[in-house]
C-alpha cells in the first residue's frame, strides 16, 4: 500500500483503487488488529487525497464555466 509521502503522487483513480483494495481486505475479517489499524490509517489518507482531487476538479470546472464577462453558467437565463 502507499505511504504518506507517495499518496500525494497518486492520481484520483489510483488512490480510489487502493482504497477499494483496503476496504475489501478490511471486510474480509482476516486482517490482524495491528494491520487493520495501519490499513484504516492508509484509507483515511487516501480518502483525504481523493476529496482533495475532487475539490480541485470542481474548482477547475467552475473556472472553465466562467465567461469573459465573469458570468457563470449558473447565472445564465435560458429562454424556453
Q: What is the pLDDT of residue 5?
A: 66
Distances (CA, A) of 35 to 18, 41, 69: 15, 10, 54
Q: What is the pLDDT of residue 71?
A: 57
pTM of the model: 0.71
* Measured distance CA(64)–CA(57) in Å, rounded: 10
Extract the C-alpha cell encoding 79. 429562454
Q: Taking CA 1 as the corner, what is the angle to CA 47 and CA 3, rounded to the nearest 5 degrees?
A: 75
pLDDT digits (tens, 9 = 90+) for 39-75: 999 999 999 999 999 999 999 888 888 755 565 555 5
Q: Which domains does the chain have, with CATH numbers?
A: 4-67 (1.10.287)
The number of residues in the chain equals: 80
Selection from 47, 49, 48 nearest residue 10 by Cα: 49
Cell 447565472 locates to: 75
Amino acid at each position: 500500500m502507499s505511504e504518506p509521502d507517495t499518496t500525494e503522487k497518486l492520481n484520483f483513480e489510483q488512490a480510489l483503487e487502493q482504497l477499494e483494495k483496503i476496504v475489501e481486505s478490511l471486510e474480509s475479517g482476516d486482517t490482524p488488529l495491528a494491520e487493520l489499524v495501519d490499513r484504516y490509517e492508509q484509507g483515511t489518507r487516501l480518502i483525504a487525497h481523493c476529496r482533495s482531487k475532487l475539490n480541485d476538479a470542481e474548482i477547475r470546472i467552475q473556472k472553465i464555466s466562467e465567461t469573459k464577462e465573469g458570468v457563470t453558467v449558473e447565472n445564465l437565463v435560458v429562454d424556453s
